[in-house]
Amino acid sequence: GMVRHYKFNVVEKRTDRLCSSKPIVTVNGRFPGPTIYAREDDTVFVKVVNHVSYNVTIHWHGVRQLRTCWADGPAYITQCPIQPGQVYTYNFTITGQRGTLLWHAHILWLRATVHGALVILPKRGVPYPFPKPHKEKVIVLAEWWKSDVEAVIGEAIKSGGVPNVSDAHTINSHPGPVADCPKGGYELAVRPGKTYMLRIINAALNEELFFKIARHQLTVVEVDAAYVKPLRTDTILVGPGQTTTALLTAYHTTGKYLMTVSPFMDAPVSVDNVTATATVRYAGTPAASPAVPIAPPSPNATWVAEGFVGSLRSLNTGAYPARVPLEIDHSLFFTVGIGVNPCATCTSGFRVVADFNNISFVMPKTALLSAHYYKMTGVFTDDFPAKPMIRFNYTGAQPVNLNTMTGTRLYRLPYNSTVQLVLQDTGMVAPENHPIHLHGFNFFAVGRGIGNFDPITDPRKFNLVDPVERNTIGVPSGGWAAIRFRADNPGVWFMHCHLEVHTTWGLKMAFVVDDGEGPDQSLLPPPSDLPKC
């Protein structure tokens, strides 16, 4: 592979949206930030220079980082933050992956504006497993707050309650025309008969999003940088941290068509109904002509969401076969829960908390990866439970005990051991899926269901032949998802809900994967410029 160098200057930039302006933290002054292009097997260097007053880190979401956990990026998990005025160069090689991913800040809520696309092209001379598109377009979906994002979450932490939702969603940085700010929006220019590859990225903090284009079908060909059997659909659901590459054929001759992005949060509380819009405009169609409208999915959004996820079960088994672990060494069952704890310092007297297996994760003061590598004691324990700490029946009455315990507990895995993890949502508060993201691995999504996971009957229905491969999976509200992976990547790997508010509340933990005995089975030594806490 080739070596590619990028430079990320983290700078503040006053930016106008929704007819008002505010300073935001950006990479190179851009929102979204620059796209990183690399081919499979390339080595990437990104020199990050912090010019702002916040601590910063950057995460290469979905990049496997084989033996290079030091370059993964989550603050206090794999590195101490890059402090104001400091520099850190991320260095990693892309191995066995091709498709669309994203990069984003992995500290505080900075990823609201510090994010961008990471496009991995196939090795030179290797074609896509579908007809070559006429053009490729990156479509980044995000959220916009009129107020300062760090202040929004800061307030919520003080009160113990729920932070404000964003004021708009965005498509390639723009909400599109809205009532009190009727101008602007992203436009995709197309020519009749041509096919466009849309690399759709959900970089939003807190919303799963539906993506649609009026009077056009989309063909999904890849998710989370893994090819899938082509799937034709008119609606795509993409959770925060997830990516979906779809082909759009411009099969009309003329006209302008609306593209919509709307949140999946339909019941029981409708929190946020802001739909972002953009347009697809055929060559020769006047810019001022009205766009053909389309209604975003709404009344039956859950069914639309389930239908889309349900239809996306299979990998392309030809050129990229699934290698699902069939023998399981570690069979884990994690509940995904939200509860409340008493809080003396909170203005409301309580604090909303979230947890895996009733343990709300406490961030350490130094990086877990360094603690693991240098065998420091007192930073974490490796006693994360394989099943929930508090037993209850998820289909019965809601549990009386919503309290969670706190701790910096990790689950230890020997090198190359195999893992089955069932994630069971306890469905107590939120109506939406939890997009659970595992760093450092692609896992196989072998099963998914509504209600209680049944340890006897459900595993019989697992797809162990050609399941979809992902790095982020939506655990359905009041339901479960089962994943399998092989622990073939030494290091400390974060796992968390990619709804940022849930991460803040403690819905996170980490796996520590020990070195193997073989020559290429150990974590590489830390880079010399690794930041210190």
- If one asks whether residue 476 binds ligand C2O (CB under 6 A), the answer comes out as no
Tell the smallest beta-carbon distance from residue 5 to ligand C2O (Å).
Answer: 23
- Only segment of 17-25, 84-92, 351-359, 491-499 that touches ligand C2O (CB under 6 A): 491-499
Nearer to ligand C2O by Cβ, of 26 and 242: the residue is 242
Nearer to ligand C2O by Cβ, of 265 and 497: the residue is 497
Nearer to ligand C2O by Cβ, of 139 and 291: the residue is 139
DSSP 159-202: HTSPPPPPSEEEETTB---BTTB-----EEEE-TT-EEEEEEEE
- Centroid of chain to Cα 494: 12
Here's the x/- map for ligand C2O, 495-524, by CB under 6 A: it reads as: -x-x--------------------------
- If one asks whether residue 439 binds ligand C2O (CB under 6 A), the answer comes out as yes
Nearer to ligand C2O by Cβ, of 92 and 196: the residue is 92
CA distance 405 to 397: 21
Cβ atoms 223, 470 nearer than 8 A: yes
> Which residue number places its CB atom closest to ligand C2O?
61
CA distance 287 to 277: 15
CA distance 465 to 449: 18
- The footprint of ligand C2O on this chain (CB under 6 A) covers a number of residues equal to 11
- Centroid of chain to Cα 363: 20
Tell the smallest beta-carbon distance from residue 72 to ligand C2O (Å).
Answer: 8
Nearer to ligand C2O by Cβ, of 17 and 104: the residue is 104
- CB neighbours of 68 closer than 8 A, spacing ≥ 6? 91, 92, 93, 524
Tell the smallest beta-carbon distance from residue 439 to ligand C2O (Å).
Answer: 6
Phi–psi pair at 399, nearest 5 degrees: -65, 145
CA distance 400 to 119: 47
CA distance 192 to 500: 40
Cβ atoms 512, 411 nearer than 8 A: yes
In the range 219-278, which residues lie near ligand C2O by CB under 6 A? Answer: 241
- If one asks whether residue 115 binds ligand C2O (CB under 6 A), the answer comes out as no
- Only segment of 325-333, 402-410, 446-454, 490-498 that touches ligand C2O (CB under 6 A): 490-498
Distances (CA, A) of 124 to 42, 66, 128, 138, 292: 11, 21, 11, 20, 40
Q: Which two tokens stand for residue 180?
A: 């009190």
Mapped onto helix, strand or coil, the DSSP state of residue 502 is: helix
- Only segment of 188-196, 260-268, 461-469, 492-500 that touches ligand C2O (CB under 6 A): 492-500
Tell the smallest beta-carbon distance from residue 473 to ligand C2O (Å).
Answer: 13
**Which amino acid, one-letter code, is at 248?**
L
Q: Pick the binder of ligand C2O from 18, 55, 59, 501 (CB under 6 A).
A: 59
Distances (CA, A) of 94 to 101, 140, 176: 12, 22, 35
Cβ atoms 206, 165 nearer than 8 A: yes
Tell the smallest beta-carbon distance from residue 471 to ligand C2O (Å).
Answer: 8
Q: Pick the binder of ligand C2O from 494, 499, 501, 507 (CB under 6 A).
A: 494
Q: Which two tokens stand for residue 188?
A: 């995709």
Nearer to ligand C2O by Cβ, of 59 and 470: the residue is 59
Distances (CA, A) of 99 to 69, 111, 168, 172, 242: 21, 21, 28, 19, 12
In the range 69-98, which residues lie near ligand C2O by CB under 6 A? Answer: 74
Tell the smallest beta-carbon distance from residue 62 to ligand C2O (Å).
Answer: 8
Nearer to ligand C2O by Cβ, of 439 and 448: the residue is 439
Tell the smallest beta-carbon distance from residue 311 to ligand C2O (Å).
Answer: 25
Q: Pick the binder of ligand C2O from 106, 174, 216, 409 (CB under 6 A).
A: 106
The DSSP bridge pattern shows strands 256-263 and 243-249 to be unpaired
Cβ neighbours, 10 Å, residue 390: 17
DSSP 56-84: B-EEEET---TT-GGGS--BTTTB--B-T
Q: Pick the binder of ligand C2O from 17, 61, 98, 470 (CB under 6 A).
A: 61
Tell the smallest beta-carbon distance from residue 61 to ligand C2O (Å).
Answer: 4
Q: Pick the binder of ligand C2O from 98, 351, 434, 437 (CB under 6 A).
A: 437
Nearer to ligand C2O by Cβ, of 61 and 351: the residue is 61
Interface positions with ligand C2O (CB under 6 A): 59, 61, 74, 104, 106, 241, 437, 439, 494, 496, 498
